[in-house]
Amino acid sequence: MNEDTRNLVDNFKGVTEAEIIAQLDQSGVQLEIAIENLERDFNMGSIVRSANAFGVRMVHVIGRRQWNKRGAMATDRYMHITYHATVDEFVAFAHQRNKRIIAVDNVPSAQSIHSTDLPESSILVFGSEGKGISDALLSVCETCVEIRQSGSTRSLNVAAAAAIAMYEWSCQRYY
């Protein structure tokens, strides 16, 4: 007997990829994630993996199409990854679907994520590790939130920040 060695919860063991996608699409959340891929950031795979864990069904990649999938641990196979060549293309797609674009970055104008309502139909936007979100993308976001810190480092790793932001969105909706 061949045992399913994929990194899946038990109820998906032995189930085809198409069946897993269909079941996740039925139970997924409205939250979507966007990653501005300016530098082929290695953190993208980890963000995709966290998105899968929180029931996110769609991840938008803005900019470079190529990204390091290793950190995703094959979870990208069960998700909908949408590519947008430009910020304008992404914004048009989001607005057509009545999604609210929320930046997550530590810029001076950012509000605390914990005291900001994150709408159910949000797209949380993350930038690359070094540069953050571009001015062009930041200017079209409805608001910008940050994760307040008290240590000496300037910022969290973007994959860690994404996981915290998805958890906060989930807490506001479900927990």
Q: Are 67 and 41 in contact (CB under 8 A)?
A: yes
The answer to whether the pTM exceeds 0.85 is yes
Can you give the pLDDT at residue 41?
A: 65
Can you give the pLDDT at residue 174?
A: 85
Higher pLDDT, 129 or 99: 99
Can you give the pLDDT at residue 1?
A: 46
Task: Specify the DSSP class assigned to residue 128.
Answer: B
Can you give the pLDDT at residue 128?
A: 85
| H runs (alpha helix) in the chain | 17-27, 44-53, 87-96, 135-138, 158-173
- pLDDT tens sequence across 127-171: 988 889 999 999 999 999 999 999 998 889 999 999 999 999 999
Whether the predicted pLDDT of 40 surpasses 70: no
Whether the predicted pLDDT of 48 surpasses 90: yes
Distance CA 26, CA 37 (A): 28
Provide the mean pLDDT of the chain. Answer: 93
Q: Which CATH superfamily is domain 15-173 in?
A: SPOUT methyltransferase, trefoil knot domain (3.40.1280.10)
Distance CA 64, CA 67 (A): 8
Can you give the pLDDT at residue 69?
A: 86
Collapsing DSSP states into helix, strand and coil, what is residue 30? coil
* Least trusted range by pLDDT, from 40-44, 69-73, 122-126, 142-146: 40-44
Domain ranges across the chain: 15-173
Can you give the pLDDT at residue 76?
A: 95
Q: What Rg, from alpha-carbon coordinates, does the chain have? A: 16
